[in-house]
Structure 1
Amino acid sequence: MGPGLRVLRRWRDHGLVKEFHDRLRRKVREQAGRDPEPSAGVIDSQSVKADAVVGADSRGFDGGKLLNGRKRHAVVDTLGLLLGGWSPPRASATAPPRRFCSPRLPPRATGWRWSGPTVATPGSLVERCRAVLALVLAIVRRSDDMRGFVVLPKRWIVERFFAHLMRSRRLARDLERSTGSAEAMVHWSMTLLMTRRLARRRPSRA
């Protein structure tokens, strides 16, 4: 193991990757004229193919996408910045409610989630989020008369987030043996995005 990899593992195991990411997110929000901590989040998931190094105990089959791999769950703010994300051991969409949103969201915050195959019982999920997290979860439904590809309200925000991850070559496929490393790589990808935003020069006012 090279020295660079040892440093990355030490940062991951001590939570430094996430801490560095969260500090940058607050800076980006302040630069955009927002409060450092958000009051709303958009929730969705993405299935990705897993490489051969991912063991059978850390992967699963997504029947909706017909894909064998891992599922990334994410909560982003209204700017598309990552608030919380995790990769459960299987590709299944079910996950403990305590990890359903970031602790950065204050009590009574609003969360948007889309109904579909991954939300079998949206009513019980809403109640669990209210009871456990004090989170007001709104399920955005697609009406029966909608045809073709339709962008539901707020959904483009989290879809843009996933599109950014796909631009990171390491994240186009899950290459990490552990889910902890997979989550750390997502944080690193967003860290690169935020540093570019902070470094972007603003036009001078006349």
Structure 2
Amino acid sequence: MYIVRGGIARRQLPVQFPPAGTVYAAFARWSHSGAWQHILDALRDRLRVRDGRDRCPTAAIIDSQTVPAADTVPRSKRGWDGGKRTNGVKRHIAVDVNGLLLAVVVTAASIQDRDAAHRLLTALRGRFSTIRLVWADGGYPGRLPVWAKDVLALPMQIIKRIPGATVSTSGLACGWSREVSRGSTSTAAACATTKPDPTTMKPWFTSR
């Protein structure tokens, strides 16, 4: 968590931490066993229930964010985003209406949003069969909504930017990346078989 928060390399951990090799070994062991995933799933579920929502989400918001790549990221995994004028990577994320993470795909920054969205939506559908609607901004036009509906049975609604608005229509998704992760990429086993919540949901930006 310290490394993620500070954006530093493992070998730059302060002296009060265990040796970098020990920290990495523990992190890898927890990752391979699925411990991190279970912890994040539990945290997201608790927050949803505390907010009066069903544990399994029925709606999602997708967006992407380009960030500079660290020196340790090889050239083969980074790219140039001409629109953001950034050489790095792009994280494509899906969140629920509370901004809690549901799925994430990381690509080179040169990959178009609509291209990476195929992978992101596939991951989202595979983990949450309860999702009935996905909101996205104008960066996901063309055949993507048709493909998502026909192939994944995942209807999409493109929300256009409101003139004069200072926040992107899918700002909730981007906003997640500015906070410590409160969600995770899956409660797949449970949510894949849970009956969807019939309550109609609306994205936060339609009521602000």
TM-score normalized with structure 2 length: 0.68
The residue number in structure 2 matching 1:162 is: 177
Measured against aligned partners, the alpha-carbon deviations of 1:36-81 in whole angstroms (never above 9, x if no partner) come to 0100001000000011111001101111100000001110101110
Q: For residue 52 of structure 2, what is the aligned residue in structure 1?
A: 33
Letter in 1 for 2:51: A
The equivalent position to 2:136 in structure 1, one of 82, 97, 113, is 113
Match of 1:12 among 4, 24, 31: 31
Aligned pairs for 1:127-206 within 5 A: 127-142=146-161, 146-147=163-164, 149-151=165-167, 153=169, 155-164=170-179, 189-191=180-182
1:83 paired to 2:102: yes
Give the drift of 1:142.
2.9
Instruction: Quote the Cα distance in structure 2 between the aligned partners of 1:108 and 1:65.
Output: 31
Amino acid at match of 1:99: L
Given the superposition, is the C-alpha separation of residues 95 and 55 from structure 1 closer, same or farther in structure 2, using an over 3 Å criterion? Answer: same
Note if contact 1:41-1:112 (Cα within 8 Å) is conserved in structure 2. Answer: yes
Q: Which runs of 5+ in 1 are unaligned?
A: 165-188, 193-206
- Cα displacement (A) at 1:13: 3.2
Q: C-alpha separation between the residues in 2 aligned to 1:96 and 1:159? A: 15
Give distance in 2, aligned partners of 1:96 and 1:108.
Answer: 15
Q: 1:90 Cα shift? A: 4.9
- TM-aligned CA deviation for residue 24 of structure 1: 1.5
Using the size of structure 1 for normalisation, the TM-score is 0.69
Task: State the partner residue of 1:99.
Answer: 120
For the aligned residue pairs, the C-alpha RMSD in angstroms reads: 2.3
The residue identity in structure 1 corresponding to 2:181 is M
SS at match of 2:73: coil
Aligned partner (choices 86, 91, 105) of residue 72 of structure 1? 91
